[in-house]
Structure 1
Amino acid sequence: MPEAARYYAIGGFLLGIGLTSLWTIHRLNHTSGKPQKDEEKLSARQLKQLLRVTRVEDQELLKKALADLEENWKSQADIKEGVEGAIGNTPLIKIKSLSEATGCEILAKAEFLNGAGNSPKDRVALSIIHMAEEQGLLTPHSGDTIYEGTVGSTGISLAAICRARGYKAHICMPDDMAIEKSDLLLKLGAEVERVRPAPIVDQKQFVNLARTRAAEHTADPLKPGRGLFADQFETEANWRAHFTGTGPEIYDQTGGHIDAFVSGAGTGGTISGVAMFLKKRLPDVKIVLADPPGSGLYNRVKFGVMFDTKEKEGTRRRHQVDTIVEGIGINRVTHNFDVGRELVDDAIRVNDEQALAMARWLVEHDGIFVGSSSAVNCVAATKLAKQLGPGHRIVTLLCDSGARHLSKFWANREVGGSEDDVCLDQILNPKRDSSREPTELTPRKKYV
């Protein structure tokens, strides 16, 4: 910054905060200021202006005050180490409209502000890479490639962090995910395979395919480096990222005052990791799963099996169900969900209609533009607030921006000026339409 601009800025800052110069000077009388370098000295005219504004008669004291202030600015500089340094410590924001409507304080961890892939999966991707590096499984700039099967967010986080740390990324994903996700992956330099949705028992299912591709890479002498299967659904690095990061941040940001935590589950790492951290310190905190249509986790939590208690698990053939919710909901119990499953107290089902209406509500009333899983979380948090009654504090997650869902979840939907706007009660209790709404016992089409 030029000399003149620097000191005018300092003078403006002093004026803007109320010019508490007398207090500063009193403090300086008991401390020693550092001598200024020649290039940092004030011109006579600048000093005269500042003296007049601050009404300080002692020029040397003013110089010391300004030097001290500038030195403090320098020492407080918050410089992150690469894009990885911008992961975590996301803000916790109050969703004003939902809080006012319910009488509860509904808070949301703004995970879409993570600095690499803009989702909570940044935490997981970095944890996976750190663990692999510690085990000697990855060497930067050697051609080592990370392979993963994902519906989008984990792949985006891996692609960004791989580039930052000297690795390549190969992502396998279902071909019915929003196209902007695969477009973004390509722009980040990842290799992308879009495959037909298939059950986990099929070796061509996207997760199984990623595992196979990693093994093929390692076995191929013509390919540089090795292939590493990230294995987000089963790796310990997943839930640990939230046990050591997301959970402690929520606890600190709320001062340990939390009545409930609400989250959807895809891999299950978020809800398990946060639950394990919070329950250890707050045994009475309520952990609630938010689950979309076709997922079996709702019934797993409510009834102990993936389907209904009246039938043996997996013995009945069921129709497939399509849902526009991406990123959460699954029809098997992963290791990451299982490690914290006993800590999940309840589950709330949220259908597509409710998620769509909530996403629109958040934009219209709060200016918050999010994707499908975030909308599901907010519906469940609001439902829970109605159940608990006024005066409670509920924390949930805003997972990613609606910008990743323009072609599907947000397709052909505008905000503002519509005559058919719904109220919050209609979002929470929509009219049941059996022709559109799947039953709770029906698995989703997106096999994961």
Structure 2
Amino acid sequence: MMAFGFGFGENTPGEGREGRRRRSSAPRHRRHTELLSRKPLVVRLIEKREDRHRAHQHPTPMMRSGSRGASCLLHHPSGTTPSSLGTPPRRATTHSGHRMQARCFAVRHHTRRESEWRGQMGPPEYTPRRIIKDNVFADFASLVGNTPLVRLNTASLISGCQIYGKCEYANPGGSVKDRPAVYIIRDGEERGLLGKTVGVDTVVEGSAGNTAIGLALMGFTRLYKTVCVIPNTQSPQKKDLLRQLGVQLVEVPPQKVWHPNHFVKLSGRLAERIGGFWANQFDNVANRRAHYETTGPEIWEQMEGRVDAFVSSVGTGGTLAGVGMYLKEKNPRVKICLADVPGAVLHRYYTTGEARAEGSSITENIGQGRVTANLEGFRPDFSFEIPDYESVPMAFQLLEAEGLPMGFSSGVNVAAAIRLAEKLGPNKRIATVLCDTGFRYANKQYNPEFLSAKDIPYPEWLDQHPDPQMEEKLQEAQATQEQIDEAIAMNAHKSTSPDSKV
């Protein structure tokens, strides 16, 4: 429930145009002081409603459909409608520039005051997806999900199957991690662990970056602060983005998963020390539930129930387990495949029963050293380990052949989908996840020196060497000195001409 601009400044009964003119003639600083001293509009409306209720001991009469100012108010998430708040104030007119400046100042101030009041009253109730009408959504959380599904033509041609990518980079935060971020915050509020009403307004998480971005964006809508404990080996692009979103970064050296100072364990202890809410994406099954309730149903609907297999890499395990569990319930014959990377243990754990890591990978956000709570009770049908020399070229192939600038993890997923297609045979329909773009890893993915040092192949165009022929054509295309002098003289003549508009 929020008032948009143009309606602040309530008229008293019988006041009209003269009263508004008297207020507008006051000094600007005094008008600002008056605006600042008022309670937020939403508070005044509710207090007015409560006063009427106490006086007459019956519900507030409904607002007439044609009441002035009804369009100023939006539907509140908790279900309170504008009609139950009484008649809002009349719109004040704005004519001169200085009055508009004062009004803009008031809008900014009261929007902040209303946000503070809303936070003190506790978070509103949310439905899974709040839609005003087709393709018009009510808030950030409603924008998360319902991402497109794209056919990957080159991968399909190579494999002989139909391979589709779920475009999770189309989420507002730019990655698949927006889904668990929304669910984790809602789950914390529902369990009374997070919110203004319980005195906890800081979300703490150990994250490689993408989940913290989603938490920060969702946190903005709930007036929460975000603290992210992040390995200092993560890309500077992600860390810069987190800082730009107001996240307090705590960079720590990378450690083995069993180490007491592993970034995830450290984030849990930090949350306890500062009295914050630990998101704990790795063992918070709200993560898995996000994909079970949204990603899985979306894939099933978009593919019209004709799904033969689903492929996903694992960071927390939420995507693989959540989508896999849903698709298995719809059709037990659907095959679920793990796409793992060297240095992680899950591929060997599921294929040999031994949780042992070998090798290393330059990929970020994926690769797990243990069975998380999100993976408990779930087991994939297939598992492949995709090395960097296979996944990175696949990411570049998505860019060159499909126009999709995907990151490392998407390359891992598509490469595993092609391998799975060879196992299943032709004409199968396989879905996978396009997690995020490669721009968040530009210092690695688009760095030829880095890739060369790792002995990873990359496209020739990544070497930005000057083209001699292009330089020659550029010289020919440039204007001569005589043409430049002529243009200068003509411009000077136009600027001194009486008919010039300059």
TM-score if structure 2 supplies the norm length? 0.62
Aligned-residue offset at 1:415: 4.6
Query: Paired residue for 2:318?
Result: 269
Aligned-residue offset at 1:385: 1.4
Query: Paired residue for 2:239?
Result: 182
Q: Is 1:113 matched with 2:170?
A: yes
Pair 1:105–1:294, CA change in 2 (3 A): same
User: SS of the residue aligned with 1:211?
Assistant: helix
Matches of 1:78 and 1:338, distance apart in 2: 36
Query: Paired residue for 2:184?
Result: 128
1:193 to 250, 254, 269: 250
Query: Paired residue for 1:434?
Result: none
Q: Is 1:247 matched with 2:296?
A: yes
- Alignment check: 8 A CA contact 2:181 2:218 kept: yes
Query: Paired residue for 1:88?
Result: 145
User: SS of the residue aligned with 2:258?
Assistant: coil
User: SS of the residue aligned with 1:234?
Assistant: coil
Matches of 1:283 and 1:176, distance apart in 2: 40
Aligned-residue offset at 1:78: 2.7
Matches of 1:238 and 1:151, distance apart in 2: 16
- Alignment check: 8 A CA contact 2:399 2:405 kept: yes
User: SS of the residue aligned with 1:406?
Assistant: helix
Aligned-residue offset at 1:201: 2.9
Matches of 1:382 and 1:368, distance apart in 2: 17
Structure having the higher Rg: 2
Matches within 5 A, 1:141-152: 144-152=201-209
Identity over aligned residues, as a percent?
40
Matches of 2:459 and 2:140, distance apart in 1: 33
Matches of 1:78 and 1:201, distance apart in 2: 46
User: SS of the residue aligned with 2:150?
Assistant: strand
Cα-Cα RMSD: 1.9
Aligned-residue offset at 1:184: 0.6
Matches of 1:322 and 1:405, distance apart in 2: 17
Aligned-residue offset at 1:237: 0.4
Matched residue type, 1:191: Q
Query: Paired residue for 2:43?
Result: none
Pair 1:146–1:365, CA change in 2 (3 A): same
Query: Paired residue for 2:428?
Result: 392
Q: Which runs of 5+ in 2 are unaligned?
A: 1-131, 452-457, 464-502
Aligned-residue offset at 1:296: 0.6
- Alignment check: 8 A CA contact 1:363 1:415 kept: no
Q: Is 1:203 matched with 2:260?
A: yes
User: SS of the residue aligned with 1:147?
Assistant: strand
Query: What is the CA deviation profile of residues 217-274 of structure 1, one whole-angstrom value per residue up to 9, with x for unaligned ones?
Result: 12xxxxxxxx001011111101111110111111111111011100001111111111
- Asked which structure has the greater RCO (Cα within 8 Å, sep 6+), the reply is 1
Matches within 5 A, 1:258-297: 258-297=307-346
Matches within 5 A, 1:343-382: 344-382=380-418
User: SS of the residue aligned with 1:407?
Assistant: helix
Q: Is 1:339 matched with 2:377?
A: yes
Matches of 1:240 and 1:363, distance apart in 2: 31
Query: What is the CA deviation profile of residues 335-390 of structure 1, one whole-angstrom value per residue up to 9, with x for unaligned ones?
Result: 1112322xx10101100111111011111111111111111001000111122222
Pair 1:140–1:92, CA change in 2 (3 A): farther
- Alignment check: 8 A CA contact 1:111 1:119 kept: yes
Q: Which runs of 5+ in 1 are unaligned?
A: 1-74, 219-226, 308-317, 420-448
Number of equivalenced pairs: 323
Q: Is 1:215 matched with 2:276?
A: no
Matches within 5 A, 1:33-112: 77-112=134-169
Pair 1:152–1:283, CA change in 2 (3 A): same
Aligned-residue offset at 1:200: 2.7
Aligned-residue offset at 1:327: 1.2
Query: What is the CA deviation profile of residues 280-321 of structure 1, one whole-angstrom value per residue up to 9, with x for unaligned ones?
Result: 1111111000001111100111112213xxxxxxxxxx8x74
Matches of 2:427 and 2:161, distance apart in 1: 5
- Alignment check: 8 A CA contact 2:194 2:200 kept: no
Aligned-residue offset at 1:140: 4.5
TM-score if structure 1 supplies the norm length? 0.69
Matches of 2:330 and 2:162, distance apart in 1: 20
Matched residue type, 1:377: N
